[in-house]
Structure 1
C-alpha cells in the first residue's frame, strides 16, 4: 500500500514522492507565504507560477552558481557549466552550444532521428506486453545525444546506467564514482574530436574545444563539464515527456483518434504534455541578498526550491491545469524553464517527440496500457514514469 506524503513529511527524494504531489502543491500555493522545510539544510519551496517566474528571471537575486540540486553539491568542481553559472558568463558558455540546437540545425537532424525511432519501434512486440520506457522512451533521447556528440550508439546502455547511478548519488548526497566515470567518458568524446577539430562552427564538440569565453579558450574542466551536462541534461526530461504522452493517448482513445486524424495537433499536444509532466520537477536556487518573495522575507544564503510541477498546475495561470489540451493557447508554461537558463535543447526535444509520435501513429493501429502490471515513477529533482507496461498492435 502506498503512503502519500504530507507537508510534514515532504521529501522530494522519498520513494513515493510523486504520489499525491499535486495535492501538496495545491496546499503550498494556498499558503500565505512560502512553504518551509528543514531537511537538507533547510529550504523554501516556490510553488506559485508568478513567484516561480520571478525566481527564474532574476538570476542576480536567485543564483544558480552555488548548485541547483537538493541537497546542494559538496564541491565547486562538481558544478555544471553553464547550468550552474550566472550571467553574464552563463551567456558566453551557452552561445557555444546554441547554434547546434537551433530550429534550422534541428530540422537537418530529423531524418537521422526518424531512422532511430523506426529501429526502436521495430523492437516493439505485436500484441504482447512490453515496457515502453525500456524499449522506446529511454533509449531514444540517449541515442540522439550520442549522435549529436559524434559517439557510437553502442555506448547507450553503459551511459544510461551511469546517469541512473548519478541520480541516486545526488539523492543520497554521496558518490559512488559515477560522476568520475561520466567525466572520463566526456574526456573520451573531447579526445576523439580534438585531433581533427579545426573550426568551432563545424560541430558542437569542436565548438567546445575551440570556442572562447571572456576572450580565452575554455579550460579542460570547463570543456568536460559542458559535455557532461549535454550527456545527462536531456535524457530524463525527454524520456519523461515521451512516456507521459504515450500514457495519455493510450488512456484517452478519443484524443489518440484526434491526433491521428490531424497530426498538426501533435506539437500542441507535446507542448501541453511538457507543462503537465514538468519533467524537471524541482531545481534549487540560492538567494543572493535579502528579498521578499511570495509573502516571505528571504535572507541572503537561503535555499529556494523551484517547483516547476506546481507552477505548471497553478489554476491562476492555467485553466483546467490537470487536463492535457492540445489546443491550449496561450501556453506559457515553465516546463522548459524560463529566463537565461531556459532549456537549451527544447527544440531538439520537441523534434524527437513529434517524430516519435508521427511514427507511432503510422505503424500501429492500437495501443493501451497493460493494467495487469504497475506503472512506476521515480523521485528526486525529476519525477516521472520510469516503467510503463503497454500493448501495441501493428497495422495489418
Structure 2
C-alpha cells in the first residue's frame, strides 16, 4: 500500500482482524497509510502531526459534526467559548478538593471488598467504580445505577451497528432519564439538593438560562465520557501493572509517581479510540485531498503511539514531555474533565495497590479485548494476592 493510498476505500475499521487488536491494526495503518479512507469512519488520521494540526485549526476542521446539540464538544468559537467558561469551574481545584473524599471512599470500598483469588477487574471494579463515582459527582440516586448500566450496553451496540433508528432510541432513553432528574430539581425549588445537577439547572450562558437540550447534552457528554473511558482506563492500567510486578512494587512504595505513570500507560494503550471533525473547506492533509464537508476521525489510539514523536511506542517513559501526550486532547477542546479523570484514576489505583500484595494475570484466562468504539477490555481476570 502506498503512502498516498489511492484506493476508494483504504481499509475497513470493522474488519475482524482489526477489531481483535485495534492498537496493532492502527500501528500498521500509521506506517502504511497515515490518512486513510473507509466507508465506516470516512477519513481517519493516524499520525500525531495531522492530529495536532486538526486540533489547533477549528476554522478548517470543525467540531460541529452533528445536527444535534452537543455542549461543548460539538461547538466552535464563539459559541464554544461561552459554554466552556460555564463548564470549567465544575472541574476546578476547589470542586476537585470537595469531591475527593467521596471519590476516595468509593474506591476504597470497592477494592477493600475484593478479597483474594481470581477477580474480573472489569465487572468487579472498573465498571462499578465509573458508575458510582459519576452518580456521586452528579448527585444522582443509586436507583439510576442499573438503568445506566443497561444504557451503556445499548449505546455501545447501537453505535457499533450504525443503525440510525437504534441510535435514536438509545439517545431518547437517556434524554428521558436526564429530563426526569432536571424536572425533579426544578419542582423541588429551594429544597433541591445542592449538587452538580441542581447547580447546572441554574446556570446561564450569554445572559439566558440553559435550554433543556443544552442541559441534557452536558449531562450526556459528561456521563458517556465518564462511564466508558474511566472503566476502560481502569482495565488498561490493571492489565499493564499485572504484567509488570516490579512497576507495581515501585508504585506501591512511591504512590506519588502514579499520576505520570497513569498518563503514560494510557498513552501506550488509549482508553478512547477516536473523535470526529468535519472539513469546512478543501484541504490537503497527510498527502490526501479532502473536500468541504468531508468527515474525519482522529485516531487517538494511533496518534499517541507515533514513532516520530515517541520513539518505540511501547516503551514506558513517565518522565517524557507531557505536552506531547494527547490523552485528553489538545487545543480549545482539550478535555475539561481531565482533572476529575486524573483524580479518579489516581485514587482507584492507589487503593488497588495499597490493598494488595500483588496481582497478576490469571493463568489460563485470556483477557477479552473491547471492540470499536470501545477500548481496553470487556473481561480481565486477575489473580489477587
Partners of 2:55 and 2:331 within 8 A in 1: yes
Does residue 116 of structure 2 align to residue 126 of structure 1? yes
- Greater shift, 166-175 or 18-27, is seen at 18-27
Q: Bigger CA drift: 307-316 or 296-305?
A: 296-305
Q: In the alignment, what sits opposite 2:65?
A: 66
CA positional deviation for 1:149: 1.4
Change (3 A) 1:33 1:279: closer
- 1:182–1:14 distance in 2 versus 1, CA, 3 Å: farther
Quickly say closer, same or farther: Cα 1:11–1:344, change in 2 above 3 A. Answer: farther
- What is the CA RMSD across the aligned residues, in angstroms? 2.4
Name the structure where helix makes up a greater proportion of residues: 2
Equivalents in 1 of 2:374, 2:24: separation in Å? Answer: 18
1:308-387 equivalence runs, <5 A: 308-330=300-322, 332-387=324-379
Report what 1:152 is aligned to: 141
List runs of 5+ in structure 1 lacking aligned partners.
Answer: 1-6, 68-75
Pairing 1:164-313 to 2, within 5 Å after superposition: 164-174=153-163, 175-176=165-166, 177-196=169-188, 203-313=195-305
Shift of the 166–353 alpha-carbon distance from structure 1 to 2, 3 Å rule, reads same
Residue number in structure 2 paired with 1:48? 47
- In structure 2, what is the Cα distance between the partners aligned to 1:229 and 1:147? 16
Partner of 1:28: 29
Aligned to 1:12: 13
Q: Provide the secondary structure at the position in 1 that maps to 2:308.
A: coil
Shift of the 238–190 alpha-carbon distance from structure 1 to 2, 3 Å rule, reads same
SS of structure 2 residue aligned to 1:320 = coil
Cα offset, 1:22, TM superposition: 3.8
Q: Deviations over 1:318-357 (max 9, x none)?
A: 1321133333334521111111221121111111111112
Instruction: Report the alpha carbon displacement of residue 363 of structure 1 after superposing the two structures with TM.
Output: 1.3
Q: Is the 8 A contact 2:248 2:358 kept in 1?
A: no
Deviation at 1:24, TM superposition (A): 3.4
Q: Which residue of 2 aligns with 1:161?
A: 150
TM-score normalized with structure 2 length: 0.90
The answer for the alignment partner of 2:103 in structure 1 is: 113
CA distance in structure 1 between the aligned counterparts of 2:48 and 2:350, rounded to whole angstroms: 32
What SS is found at the alignment partner of 1:66?
coil
TM-score (norm 1): 0.87
